[in-house]
Structure 1
Amino acid sequence: MKTFLLIALALCLAACKSLEEPLELVSYDGSQIEQFSGQLIKFEAGFHVQNKLWLPVKMKPGSFEIFIDQQKIGNLYLDEPIKLKANKETVLKVPLRMIPEPGFITMAYKAAKKSAVGVKISGYPKVGMLFLYKTAPISKESQIDPALFTPYFPTF
């Protein structure tokens, strides 16, 4: 019984620990657009993510806000759970859908002309291990080449 309580306490402490430090986005591998209309964009994005925890981590479906150069361009929805293996780098192909804000095409076209743009993704998904889940604030900012997310816009 004492061993069970110690294991349960260790799992609770591991679940309550901040997940920003042990999870690292190694690289963004671009995206493939499946559907592009005025009110919905479906695409598949590729990532390499390093999990430094000794337990696998799972993120449940949720929503995020996405910004380009500090202007909101839309809401990003994750419809399938993401699973990260323990102590490994995982290659992810994540199906996503985005509902763009008015003026999205203009903002994306302006961003396509730049050499690098600031992209920010923020949201509050449910993240957890085993059966313990909590809502974790996630906010990730980075500078990326616009050709990775706007491959179909011509640049003049």
Structure 2
Amino acid sequence: MFNPSRDQVRNFFIETWRKYRAKEVLTPMESVAADIMAMHPEYHAVIEDPESVDRDFPPEAGQINPFLHLSLHLAIEEQLSIDQPSGIRAAFDAACQHHGDRHDAMHDALEALGETLFDAQRNGTPPDGAAYVGRLRRRAGAE
């Protein structure tokens, strides 16, 4: 199982963005990540700064961790590609129809995933895939 460190994840995004901007060949995963980063110009200054690998983004200071946000996007893209947890693709399609915009639907999925991960961490249990899909379906008005 792939379990990268915080620095490895951050370096992946920084290096992928560098390669993308330099028009170098990207791996399939890098291509997906580059597309996600391109949709988030508000994070470009951070991902263009190699020193940001060591930076903290404390939520209590009102900061959003751009690397976490991008990582969640990437995780959801992978989930959609294999429909895992089962039903995520249909729930996401419903969210796309509800919003009329894929990126807005993606942010519904990010919220649903974040809630699911928070519950799992709080309860000391694995993430509940069915609850995750249900959360996304509710956000899309599909339940």
Q: TM-score, normalised by structure 1?
A: 0.25
Higher helix share: 2
Bigger proportion of residues as strand? 1
TM-score, length-scaled by structure 2: 0.26
More RCO (CA 8 Å, sep 6+): 1
